[in-house]
Structure 1
Amino acid sequence: KNTIIIMTSNTGADIIQRNFKELNEYNHEEVVDRTRDEVVERLRQHMRPEFLNRIDEIVMFQPLKRKEIRKIVDIQFKQIQQRLQEAGISLEATDEVLDYLGEQGFDPQFGARPLKRVLQRVILNELSKEILSGKVSKDAVVEAVLEDGAVHFENVTLPTV
């Protein structure tokens, strides 16, 4: 039987961050190739040749772009919507809120890992406070909006047809 083993490492992450700051549409291939060479050299400095020779392929992941971050926000926000829907709460959000969550939940060093904590703090915790205080009703559609650089919640009435 064949086995695939996937290993990850942060070795060379500083090189990737530094080099990809200069990335643009004209030098993409050159920057990626140079970065890969530098990262492989760093691996050689930190890992024994006997170990590296057993690795068939090294895949260097590239930092997330805004478009990918927004897709991750959309996926995780939909999961929150589904969980709230099971509790009878209908939550919507403006594009500005979703973009804000992406900005707050992304860190160049850690990628999108902080996003779940941001969603918990900014959406779930704050929405719970608003519902408990009676400022918004869970029986109506709740919309997250961005005002003065912060997420706020308000009830919206859907037009009747």
Structure 2
Amino acid sequence: ADRRLTLALDDTAAAWLADKGYDPVYGARPLKRVIQKDLVDPIARKLLAGEIEDGSVIAVSARAEELQIGKVQVH
């Protein structure tokens, strides 16, 4: 379904993903797994729980050891 969602990552979230998704041996290959586990899966759970509505802007920032995912607004 077309949910018209917009993802807004701030600089802390981008830096967190880059740090967690990079490995000196494998390069950026682990990034896909980090994005799935720490970003896509939590957003999917929030969608299923009805916490994020169609047309929402999803704000993502990083605090300590995890990403913070919140809804900013609905278009």
TM-score normalised by length of structure 2: 0.81
Listed one character per residue, the Cα deviations across residues 61-86 of structure 1 (whole Å, up to 9, x for unaligned) are xxxxxxxxxxxxxxxxxxxxxxxxx6
Question: How many matched pairs?
Answer: 73
Shift of 1:141: 0.9
Please say which structure displays the higher CA radius of gyration.
Answer: 1
Unaligned runs of 5+ in 2: none
4+ residue segments displaced more than 4 Å: none
Distance 2:58 2:16 in 1: 18
Distance 1:138 1:121 in 2: 22
| Larger RCO, structure (CA 8 Å, separation 6 or more) | 2
Listed one character per residue, the Cα deviations across residues 13-67 of structure 1 (whole Å, up to 9, x for unaligned) are xxxxxxxxxxxxxxxxxxxxxxxxxxxxxxxxxxxxxxxxxxxxxxxxxxxxxxx
Distance 2:57 2:48 in 1: 16
Q: Is the 8 A contact 1:106 1:114 kept in 2?
A: yes
Kindly indicate whether residue 65 of structure 2 is the aligned counterpart of residue 157 of structure 1. no
SS of match in other structure, 1:157: strand
Matched ranges for 1:1-161 at <5 A: 87-157=3-73
Q: Which structure is higher in strand share? A: 2
**Identical aligned residues as a percent:** 26
Matched AA of 1:94: D
Task: Provide the aligned C-alpha RMSD in A.
Answer: 1.8
Distance 1:139 1:146 in 2: 23
Shift of 1:127: 0.7
TM-score normalised by length of structure 1: 0.41
Change (3 A) 1:133 1:142: same
Q: Is the 8 A contact 1:130 1:153 kept in 2?
A: no
